[in-house]
Each structure stands twice: as C-alpha cells, then as structure tokens.
C-alpha cells in the first residue's frame, strides 16, 4: 500500500488504516471523513463494547456457528474482530459501497488470514441485504454502523435477520435524536421532540422507539438486550422476533410518551395519548409531549449480568477495558424509568447550591424510594420518587 496507509493493531486484529497524519485539520485533529476509506480510531470503545456484547449474547442465548454481516464495513475492522475475538462466529460478510474500502478490506482479510471465514462485497448495503434475503442466506447477526443515522438500513436488516436473530446498531446523529435539534429529529424519526434537561436519554429512547415501530410494520418485535450512550454515539443490541401477538404487546407496553414542563422541569410518562395531561400538575404551565418513543426497559437484566461477567473474564485485554466495564456496570444498576433528573439543572432552578449526586440518591433511598445514578450524565439521578420529593432532597442536600 502507499504511504496513505499504516498498519495498526486493534483488539486481536492487524489492520491497514488511513495514515492520520495525512488527514488532519488545521487544528491538528484527525478528520476520518477526509480519508479515502473511513476509519475512526476514537470509535474503538464502541467496537470493543460491540465485541463484548456479541460474545455475551452467544453464551446468554446459547447460540453456535453464527453467520454475520458487517454491511457498512469501512476498513473491515468490526467484522474481522468479530471472527477473531468472538467464539462461535465462523463466517462474516464484509460489505462497503466504496471500491477503495473494499480493496482495503480484502488486504485486511489477508493480513489476518481469514480468507476462509469471510466474503467481501462492494454494494449498497440495502441492495445487498435484500439480495441475501432473496437468496435465502441466513444471517444471525447484522451490524449497522453508519456515519450518522441508521434509519435508511433498518427495514432491510429487520427483514434479513433470522427469527430470534440480533441487530447491533450505532447512531451518531446525537443532536437530532436527543431533541437538541428537535425539528430535524422529529422529521427523521417520525416523532415529536423538544429540548429537555435529559436529552441523551430522550435520544436513546427515540432510537429504540423508531426501530420498534419499523419492526412492527413487518410483524416483528424487538427486545433490547443492551442500550448505551457514550461520548458521541448510541449503541444498541436488540433481538428480533416474529409474532403478531408479541408485536402488539410490545407496542402497547413499551411505546409511549413523556410529558415535560419547561417551566418547572417536572416530567412523567404514559403509554396512552389519552392519559396525557396538557397542563402541568405542579405549576399549571403547558406541558410539552415527547413521543412516541420507547418507555420500556433499555436492557435485559439477565443479559447485562452475563455481559459484566463476559467482559471481566474474557476481555480484560481490551484497550478500553476499564471504560466499558465502568459504563456497563452503571447501566446495570440503572432504574428502568424513562428519564432522569439533572441535579445541576434542578439546583439552578431552585436557586440552591449544587449538592453531591450521591447525597441526593441517599436522601431519596432514606425516604423509601428507589434511586440510582445514570450513565447518561454524572449529575443525573433516576428515581421513582415524586418530583416534589426530588426537590426536597436537593434542597436538604445543598450546602
């Protein structure tokens, strides 16, 4: 290869990737989109976590001999790492529509001696998935890792994955999803969004809700095994089932709406639009309504227990081991409530000094309520306590 590429190691894979020194902005920061083939070294945490999640799913679901696809492969790093690092993955389809990327994928497959375990395509991701479905190719896991929104690829992936199969999905369009750019998010994800003080949870639940509603159109239902927000992306691992009855149950129990008062910052959630109060019960202002979005659990408790064990027993060699172990542990302990309270925002609204997050949690627990930290924000608290109780604890814990 030319000087445009260098050889690196990520996980157990050796890879040819674009030389970052040739694609730096004036401020010295490497810009992956400027390179002829996309590779983002900062996304290693995402890829490490994805390896761990797939490995955990295999033991949790008692799977074996998986055929998988990485349909937006770039340099091929995800698919190659899955074969090298995840037991039971013995065949991977690697695809990218960029011919330069495909050339690099072929070289990286050769570099890791995986010729017998891979098949490389140069195609539009949707066209390939529809073609594979028509040909009867069984895919147990499909990875969708786009630059931006995954929405263009969901229908083909939902149709192509086997009954009970898995989808690993990344979204990096944080601003639209989270309601920071609420007009764009509302258009892209067929929902109503507004700015809130818990935007990153809104984004994750908007993503899951959109996936679930698109699945329901195909009489499929989804079960989130693990969902997470980290830095600049969302990553979800979902299991896809086929059942009209379970699809209807999913829509009734897990799709709903959040009411949010921008005046006093109170919030609530409901399954049914008819149950929504337009007037805030706390201050009398007009409530905003967000949704439809996912109000069910973002994780399987049994799966995440297995994931924590998998990370600690099989993947302590990963460069981001400490980061993903801490992240998953916090997600594991999170309460299943579809919003959090940002202590910083509430303390400012109440005009009191900022209390310690742990002190507020202890106050809520001492009053008989459930409370936990959240992985979305270090100053976030999830609780089943009434909003007035949350405010009382913030006041009593401020110094």
DSSP letter at 279 equals B
Average pLDDT over residues 131-149: 97
What is the overall mean pLDDT for the chain? 97
Reported as half-sphere exposure (CB side, CA atoms, 13 A), residue 132 has a value of 30
CA dist 311 to 42, 55, 86, 394, Å?
A: 20, 9, 12, 36
Residue 277 above 90 pLDDT? no
Q: How confident is the model over 75-95, as pLDDT tens digits?
A: 999 999 999 999 999 999 999
Domain ranges of the chain: 8-294, 340-399
Q: How confident is the model over 31-65, as pLDDT tens digits?
A: 988 999 999 999 999 999 999 999 999 999 999 99
Average pLDDT over residues 343-365: 97
- Identify the pLDDT of residue 247: 99
Provide the pairing of β-strand 233-242 with 267-270.
unpaired
Percent of the chain residues past pLDDT 90, beyond the cut: 94
Confidence of residue 3 (pLDDT cuts 50, 70, 90): low
Token pair 């970052």 is found at 20
Q: Just give the CATH number of 340-399.
A: 3.30.56.70
CA–CA gap between residue 254 and residue 208 (Å, rounded): 10
CA–CA gap between residue 291 and residue 373 (Å, rounded): 24
- Identify the pLDDT of residue 1: 52
Average pLDDT over residues 304-329: 98
Confidence of residue 273 (pLDDT cuts 50, 70, 90): confident
Q: What is the secondary structure of 43-110 as a DSSP string?
A: GHHHHHHHHHHHHHHHHHTT--SEEEEESS-TTTHHHHHHHHHSTTEEEEEEE-S-HHHHHHHHHHHH
Q: What is the pTM of this model?
A: 0.96
Strands (E), 199-336: 220-230, 233-242, 255-260, 267-270, 288-294
CATH homologous superfamily of 8-294: Vaccinia Virus protein VP39 (3.40.50.150)
Q: Token pair for residue 342?
A: 């940002």
Q: Are 29 and 20 in contact (CB under 8 A)?
A: no
- Identify the pLDDT of residue 2: 59
Provide the pairing of β-strand 5-10 with 13-18.
antiparallel
Token pair 């690092």 is found at 85
CB within 8 Å of 59: residues ≥ 6 apart: 306, 310
- Identify the pLDDT of residue 183: 97
Degrees to nearest 5, angle at CA 43 with 37 and 46: 130
Confidence of residue 345 (pLDDT cuts 50, 70, 90): very high
CA-derived radius of gyration, the chain? 22
Residue 386 above 90 pLDDT? yes
Average pLDDT over residues 297-305: 98
Confidence of residue 267 (pLDDT cuts 50, 70, 90): very high
Residue 388 above 70 pLDDT? yes
Q: Are 133 and 155 in contact (CB under 8 A)?
A: no
- Partners of 226 in the β-ladder: 237
Write out 101-131 in H/E/C secondary structure: HHHHHHHHHHHCCCHHHEEEECCCHHHHHHH
Closest CA to 162 of 129, 207, 116: 129
Confidence of residue 275 (pLDDT cuts 50, 70, 90): confident
Provide the pairing of β-strand 118-121 with 89-95.
parallel
CA 166 to chain centre: 14
Percent of the chain residues past pLDDT 70, beyond the cut: 99
């Amino acid at each position: 290869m030319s000087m445009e590429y260098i050889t690196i190691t990520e996980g157990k894979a050796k890879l040819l990737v674009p030389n970052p020194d040739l694609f730096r902005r004036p401020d010295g920061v490497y810009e992956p989109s400027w390179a002829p083939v996309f590779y983002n070294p900062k996304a290693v945490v995402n890829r490490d976590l994805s390896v761990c999640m797939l490995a955990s799913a295999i033991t949790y679901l008692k799977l074996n001999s998986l055929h998988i696809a990485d349909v937006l492969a770039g340099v091929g790093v995800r698919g190659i790492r899955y074969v090298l690092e995840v037991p039971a993955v013995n065949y991977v389809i690697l695809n990218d529509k960029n011919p330069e990327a495909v050339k690099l994928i072929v070289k990286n497959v050769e570099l890791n001696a995986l010729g017998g375990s891979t098949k490389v395509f140069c195609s539009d991701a949707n066209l390939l998935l529809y073609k594979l479905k028509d040909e009867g190719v069984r895919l147990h896991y499909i990875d969708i890792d786009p630059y931006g929104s995954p929405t263009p690829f969901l229908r083909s992936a939902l149709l192509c994955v086997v009954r009970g199969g898995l989808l690993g999905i990344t979204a990096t369009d944080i601003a639209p999803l989270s309601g920071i750019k609420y007009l764009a998010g509302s258009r892209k994800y067929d929902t109503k969004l507004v700015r809130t003080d818990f935007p990153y949870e809104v984004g994750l639940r908007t993503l899951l809700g959109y996936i679930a509603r698109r699945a329901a159109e195909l009489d499929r239902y989804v079960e989130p095994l693990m969902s997470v927000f980290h830095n600049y992306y969302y990553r979800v691992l979902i299991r896809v089932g086929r059942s009209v009855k379970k699809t209807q149950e999913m829509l009734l129990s897990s799709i709903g709406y959040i009411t949010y008062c921008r005046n006093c910052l109170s919030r609530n959630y409901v399954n049914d639009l008819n149950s929504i109060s337009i007037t805030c019960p706390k201050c009398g202002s007009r409530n905003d309504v967000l949704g439809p979005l996912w109000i069910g659990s973002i994780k399987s408790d049994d799966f995440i227990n297995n994931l924590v064990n998998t990370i600690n027993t099989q993947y302590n060699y990963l460069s981001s081991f400490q980061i993903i172990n801490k992240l998953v542990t916090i997600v594991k302990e999170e309460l299943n409530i579809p919003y959090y309270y940002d202590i910083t925002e509430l303390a400012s609204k109440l005009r009191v000094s900022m209390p310690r997050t742990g002190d507020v949690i202890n106050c809520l627990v001492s009053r008989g309520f459930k409370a936990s930290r959240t992985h979305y924000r270090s100053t976030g608290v999830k609780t089943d306590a009434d909003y007035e109780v949350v405010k009382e604890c913030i006041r009593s814990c401020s110094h």
